[in-house]
């Protein structure tokens, strides 16, 4: 069942993000494609984290998180944030610090096409994941192609050219 469900779900193409948080003096990050918008007024977003994740405590206890939407050339960054120690994940990945969270500056992945700096509003337990609903405090975007994930492969969005 789980395998078939994963196979079916892999057909739903998504963007790719790296979510990060700064918790008790350490940076945490993981690749995430469950990111989604929830509400515009107020501005709310969500993503879900596996309860077994090593960084589950950090993300659920922290004051918030940063979502960096990866650009099409950042496939290596996406892979780097799926495994290894937190120090290894951030190695050679340039980051910037948000100015909104003065005491808790979550790292932002440099070169990302968009970013959302969020305050953690609500944690909803749902099966083997927790849904982290965040209020967007600050955000930005740049021109550029987004990285896309579908059927367990990274790629780029190819729009139809018929006008
Ligand atoms: C494209 C992609 C999207 C992912 N999205 C999520 C996600 O939304 N939530 C999640 O918990 N894990 C997601 N993962 C897996 C985590 O990145 C990975 O399990 C985690 O970083 C492993 O380290 P940990 O056990 O220390 O958390 C995704 C992996 C990939 C390749």
Closest to 78 (Cα-Cα) out of 11, 151, 15: 15
Residue 31 Cα to ligand 1 midpoint, Å, equals: 5
| The pLDDT of residue 73 | 98
Residue 139 has pLDDT above 90, yes or no: yes
Q: Are 71 and 112 in contact (CB under 8 A)?
A: yes
Nearest atom within ligand 1 for CA of residue 29:
21
- How many angstroms separate the Cα of 23 from the Cα of each of 2, 42, 44? 32, 25, 21
pLDDT (tens digit, 9 = 90+) per residue, 5-51? 999 999 999 999 999 999 999 999 999 999 999 999 999 999 999 99
CA-CA distance, 65 to 100, in Å (whole number)?
12
The distance in angstroms from the start CA to the end CA of the chain is: 42
pLDDT (tens digit, 9 = 90+) per residue, 66-98? 999 999 999 999 999 999 999 999 999 999 986
Instruction: Specify the higher pLDDT residue, 161 or 146.
Output: 146
Strands 14-15 and 44-50: what pairing? unpaired
Closest to 116 (Cα-Cα) out of 12, 14, 38, 27: 38
Closest-CA residue, ligand 1 atom 21, reads: 82
Q: Are 58 and 28 in contact (CB under 8 A)?
A: yes
Q: What is the CATH number of domain 2-151?
A: 2.30.110.10
The conformation of residue 95, written as its DSSP 8-state character, comes to E
Closest-CA residue, ligand 1 atom 10, reads: 49
| The pLDDT of residue 70 | 98
Q: Are 31 and 78 in contact (CB under 8 A)?
A: yes
Q: Which residues line ligand 1 (CB under 6 A)?
A: 16, 30-34, 47-50, 53-55, 82-83, 149
């Amino acid at each position: 069942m789980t395998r078939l469900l994963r196979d079916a779900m892999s057909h739903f193409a998504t963007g790719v993000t790296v979510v990060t948080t700064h918790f008790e003096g350490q940076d945490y990050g993981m690749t995430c494609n469950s990111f989604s918008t929830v509400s515009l007024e107020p501005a709310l977003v969500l993503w879900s984290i596996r309860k077994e994740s090593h960084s589950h405590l950090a993300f659920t206890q922290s004051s918030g998180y940063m979502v960096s939407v990866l650009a099409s050339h950042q496939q290596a960054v996406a892979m780097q944030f799926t495994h290894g120690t937190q120090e290894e994940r951030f190695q050679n990945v340039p980051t910037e610090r948000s100015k909104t969270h003065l005491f808790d500056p979550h790292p932002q992945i440099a070169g990302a096409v968009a970013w959302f700096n969020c305050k953690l509003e609500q944690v909803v337990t749902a099966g083997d994941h927790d849904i982290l609903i965040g209020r967007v405090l600050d955000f930005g975007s740049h021109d550029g192609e987004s990285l896309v994930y579908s059927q367990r492969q990274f790629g780029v969005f190819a729009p139809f050219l018929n006008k």
